[in-house]
Each structure stands twice: as structure tokens, then as C-alpha cells.
Structure 1
Amino acid sequence: MANSTKRAILYRMVMPAHVCPFGLKSKWLLERHGYSVDDHWLRTRAETDAFKAEHRVETTPQTFIDGRRIGGNDDLRRFFGRHVPAKGETSYRPVIAVFAMAAAMALAASFAAYGTPLTVRAGEWFVSFAMCLLAMLKLQDVESFSTMFLNYDLLARRWVPYAYVYPFAEALAGVLMAAGALRWLSVPVALVIGTIGAVSVVKAVYIDKRTLKCACVGGATNVPLGFVSLTENVMMVAMAVWMIAR
């Protein structure tokens, strides 16, 4: 229950065709920190514009505590000591999410197939599922991916169509490896794209010392090129070698 001594005033847009999501987040955040919220709805565009003009602000929602304007949702998050990512800030969350989900799916598939999550097949599925998930992210916007990929991939810079082919090739190899089918096709594809990718990353990051964004999780993220992309490519090569050895 909110502490009655902690009160906040919140102004947010609640219109028939639009309820501001940041206003909902601000209200939830205040209540979570024990504030009783005096929730003022701005029900029309005219009300919203008048509020902005009166308080000389450009956005809503706006929160006030003890007569002091805290600001919008980002400002409120900072007020409570929460991190607010800066524009272009590096983040490994997309990569962590991909590999964590791939691991969970592999363990689940192993349990369903063999009655235990800890099998050799689970390890194989982890790599192949990760390839599929990474390919899916690239395929969401192949144009953006190809643009970022052309910054460092050695083959793509010599033959641009490869930048468009790569995510489809990775998806194909991942699906076939997950199924354990057509190894004569999946193994060479994984070996070729994985080897070229690994060499390209090593040259760009560790030899040329360039600071670039990684295209491994698509073209709209701020994951830095380096260890993550190198890991993706090494995993593909290792999986191909493992399948040959088997």
C-alpha cells in the first residue's frame, strides 16, 4: 500500500484514441516506490498543448513531487536511481537474450526427446538454434544488416550480393544442423561463412583496430563488433567440424 506521506502529481495523456505508454510507466514506477499518485488526465490535444505551454515543457507525461517538477519518464527513472541508456549506448542484451533462449530451447528439446536436458544433442541444438535465432534477427531487415555487414566482411566488400545471401545461408545451415539432415550441404555452408566471418572480424577489430557495430544480431543494435561476432562464427565452424568428426 502507498505511503500517504509520499505524494506525487502526474500529468499524462489519456485520450480516446491514445493512452500514453510512458504515462502508464510513470504511474507504475511511482506507485512501486510507495507514492500516492494524483493522476491528472490530459484528455484532448488542446489540453495537452495548453499544459505544455503553461509549464514550458515539450513532452508528457510530467511528474511533480513536493512542488518540484521531476520531468518525463526518463527523468523519473533517473530520480529513482535507474539507468537510462544514452543514445547509441553499447548493449549486450540482444546477444545475451539470443544465447539464453537458444540454450533454454536446446535443453527443452533434449528433455522432450530423451527425458533429460543434459545430452550431447542438446549441445548441438544449442549451436544450431542460436544460428537460427541470429539469422532471424538479420532477416527482419536484410537491408540494414547488409549495410552494417559491408563495413567489415571481406567477401561482402568484394562481392556485395554476399551481404544479402549471408543471413539466408546461416538460417539454412542452422535449420539443417538442427534436423541433422543434408550434412553434405549444411557443413560446407557453415564452414565457409563461419571461416570468412571469423577472419573478417579478426582483421577489422584485432589487426586494423577499428571500432564498429556488430551486424550479428541485425542492423539496428549497438552491440560492438568483436568477441560476440567472433564467437558466432567460431561456433559455426566448430559445429561443422564436429559434424564431420561424427
Structure 2
Amino acid sequence: MATPEHLCPFGLKSKSLLEWRGYEVDDHLLTSRAEQDAFKAEHDVKTTPQTFIGGERVGGYDDLQRHFGKHVKSKDETTYRPVIAIFATTALMALALVFNLYEGFPIATWVKWFFAFSMVALALQKLQDVDGFVNGFLGYDLLARRKVTYGYIYPYAEAFAGLGMMALISNMNWAVLPVASVSLFIGTIGAVSVVKAVYIDKRELKCACVGGGSNVPLGFISLTENLVMMVMGAWMLAEWFSLI
């Protein structure tokens, strides 16, 4: 469908996929709602676009992908892609920063920046839709189940801890105490909650670690996120006490 108000993205994607596969495409644009309704009635279909190869109807964009042997992800299919994208990007961000600001390559410093960047990135995902995050978080977090307000505070607390760590990595001062304490607290509660839900109660849940509506399964990834906050909090406290 191609009108001044709407250009169908699935039509463009279908055309691109066909051309990438070497097909010559005879593109029939539906330029009004009436044309679209008439097309649907003629071919007894519910959606457009529809692809025909050699006169045989293949179907919509998902059907076309399946025709070429591509996997089409279902709505409820679990995936680790969001967290892989976040951790890969924050690892590279930390790498770029360490290469530019430090001599040599101090591994421990890179790890600190990587953890801090990751915490902020994960907090940003939650802050996009706090209500959606809380809906998922209440499914397993022990403290949020007792005090729903904690679920609404959590994304801000995680952002505070991550940003605080970024500010303090190279300049330890008294502010370490609130930053590290918040990180250690929310990380510990989160880790205990995940262990209980997944490894003790054996529940299959979606993780709220990248915000509401994600299809990341609750388990190792969420546990890792919380362990990272625990480690960073404890690490910063240990360094602070060693300096005083």
C-alpha cells in the first residue's frame, strides 16, 4: 500500500528481499483504501502486501521469509538479543574509553567502566517504560512484591549507582558510600530473588532486566546483572576503606 499518508514497510521489505534473491519484481501499488479492500476481497486475504511467484501466491512478508527458509520469530519467542546488544556495545564503549584515557590497557579499569556503562544502559531500558518494567519485576522480585513502590524506585536507583560509579572510578571520595551501598543493596535483593524464582521454585518467567515487554528469559542474564551490581558495590567499598 502506498498513499500520501502511509507507505507499507512490509511491502518495501518484501520487494527488497525478492530483489536480493535475484527476482525481477513487478510491483503493484495499492494507492487507496478502496483498492486495498478490493484486492483483499479478490484474493481472499486479510493483509497486504501479498507476493506471487510464477503466478502462485506465497503470502505476506512472514510467508515470504519462510518460503526462502528464513526463521520467523513468533511474538512470544524468547531471545537474548537485547542483552547481547547492550553488553557488546558497553564493552566496546569501555574499550574505547580505556584506550583513549589510560596508558597501556588496565584490565581492572576496563571491567569497572564496562560494568558502570552496562548498569546505566540497562537502567535506560527500564526508564523508557517504568510501568511496563514494574509489571514484569513484580513477577519475581521479593522486595517489590512486598513494597510495590520499590519497583518504581529500582530503575532510578540502578541509574544512580551506574552514573555514580562512572563519576568515582578515577576519583574515590566520600560519595562512594551512597553509590556503593545502593548498588550492593539492589544487587543483593535482585540476586536472591532470581535464585529463588528460577533455581529453587523452577519458574519460567520473562526477565525485566531490559524493561517491560521483553522476551528475555529470567535466569542467568538477570542473575549476572545483579551479581555485577553486588561486585561493583563491594569493590568500591573495599577500595574506599583501603584509602582511609
Q: TM-score range by the shorter chain?
A: over 0.9
Q: What is the SS of the residue equivalent to 1:169?
A: helix
Q: Which moved further from structure 2: 63-72 or 178-187?
A: 178-187
Equivalent of residue 194 in structure 2, options 194, 197, 201? 201
* TM-score, normalised relative to structure 2: 0.93
Q: 1:117 to 1:65 in 2, by over 3 A?
A: farther
Partner of 2:211: 218
Trace 1:87-166 onto structure 2 (pairs within 5 A). Answer: 87-114=75-102, 119-166=107-154
Which consecutive residues of structure 2, in runs of 5 or more, have no partner in the other structure? Answer: 240-244
C-alpha root-mean-square deviation of aligned residues, in Å? Answer: 1.2
Q: What is the SS of the residue equivalent to 1:134?
A: helix
Trace 1:14-33 onto structure 2 (pairs within 5 A). Answer: 14-33=2-21
Once residues 75 and 115 of structure 1 are traced to their aligned partners in structure 2, the CA distance between those partners, rounded to angstroms, is: 54
Q: What is the SS of the residue equivalent to 1:244?
A: helix
Once residues 92 and 178 of structure 1 are traced to their aligned partners in structure 2, the CA distance between those partners, rounded to angstroms, is: 26
Which consecutive residues of structure 1, in runs of 5 or more, have no partner in the other structure? Answer: 1-12
The one of the two structures with greater contact order (alpha-carbon pairs below 8 A, sep at least 6) is 2
Q: What is the SS of the residue equivalent to 1:19?
A: coil
Q: 1:15 to 1:223 in 2, by over 3 A?
A: same
1:55 aligns with 2:4: no
Equivalent of residue 180 in structure 2, options 151, 174, 187? 187
More strand by share: 1
User: How much does 1:118 deviate?
Assistant: 5.4
Trace 1:2-41 onto structure 2 (pairs within 5 A). Answer: 13-41=1-29
Partner of 1:81: 69
Once residues 117 and 171 of structure 1 are traced to their aligned partners in structure 2, the CA distance between those partners, rounded to angstroms, is: 27
Matched AA of 2:117 = F
Partner of 2:242: none
Once residues 87 and 66 of structure 2 are traced to their aligned partners in structure 1, the CA distance between those partners, rounded to angstroms, is: 30
Figure out how many residues of one structure are paired with residues of the other and give that number.
Answer: 234
Identity of aligned residues (%): 62
Matched AA of 2:154 = Y
